[in-house]
Structure 1
Amino acid sequence: MQKVVAVLGGGIGGLSACHHLSKSPNVSKIVLLERSGRCGGWLSSIRRDDGAVFEQGPRGVRPAGAVGRNTLNMVSELGLESEILPVTKDHVASKNRFLYVKGQLHKMPSGPGGVVRTIPPFSRPIIQSILKEILIRKGTEEDESVHAFVSRRLGSEVRFSMEDHWSGCECEGK
């Protein structure tokens, strides 16, 4: 008997579920339900008028292990191999990471000095956040949301950065 399946959320997990469900002979229709106007969730690229491209959320795939192989297999099945840009560990792009927060680009710390000094957009040294992380108790909620977890563990500056990039989509079909 063929089934109609609803998938909640058009982020990478929901889109991946739809892709795998579409190959099932037992599924006649897949309905993807999302709260906003685009698919991709955290995965999103924004191109500014000056040509600069900003990646929101994850921007890379680590091809190690079963999860990495499965991801690369799905990329291949979808015919997206030409969209992948391999970057080695010693490449300049691997060593230079940036955060775009409140309209400004901030280089992430890349050495010991950056861990002990306060570097914008952070309000305290990263080492202080790491040491504080060890001492923070588990949340009191039985089922804690990602938003609550990030707020409690990493602070408001990271939480507000997350809120700026929250999005989704409305899609239907098989």
Structure 2
Amino acid sequence: MSFIFDPAATKKKGLRPPKTLVSDLMFPELDRQLSDDPKLWPNLNGLYILNVTKRRKSVTTWYLLFQGNKIKPIITKLKQTSKQATGKKVPVVKLQVEDADVLNFVAGGLTGMKAYVARRIKVRGDLVLAQRLEKLFEKAGGRERAMQFVQQNEQLSAQSASKL
């Protein structure tokens, strides 16, 4: 018995190939940039647990652990890695955000306060720590870097689409 992929069959059943999440592009890039430039490491102690959703359904979780500006931040999807990395107790904030809003937040189109008031982001835990995440992106030039990253990905997408 052989398996043949039929794109028409997936359309009939309402199945679509999985799309890449914005958060799955942005956070590894943020990790790469922090690895390349220790000057970007924030003087911040805390664990951000970002529950990323699509149409209000949880699709992935990211862990951002900051332990001061002397230790490289850890950005991962692995819960155990983020908890084992620190031997001391750190403040924790849990955020729930739509995948599309991740880019808006990092790129500056959506501020944390606007998102919170409009209920586009849910926050549990240390609210002061939650507010510092936005300042972290601003201070590190995250908005400019995010826009450059988006433009590069658009160019790559256009090039790969033209090859098809």
Specify the TM-score bucket, using the shorter chain as the normaliser.
under 0.3
Q: Which has the higher strand share?
A: 2
TM-score scaled by length of structure 2: 0.25
Whichever of the two has the greater Rg, that structure is: 1
Q: Which has the higher helix share?
A: 2
Higher RCO (CA < 8 A, seq sep 6+):
1
TM-score scaled by length of structure 1: 0.24
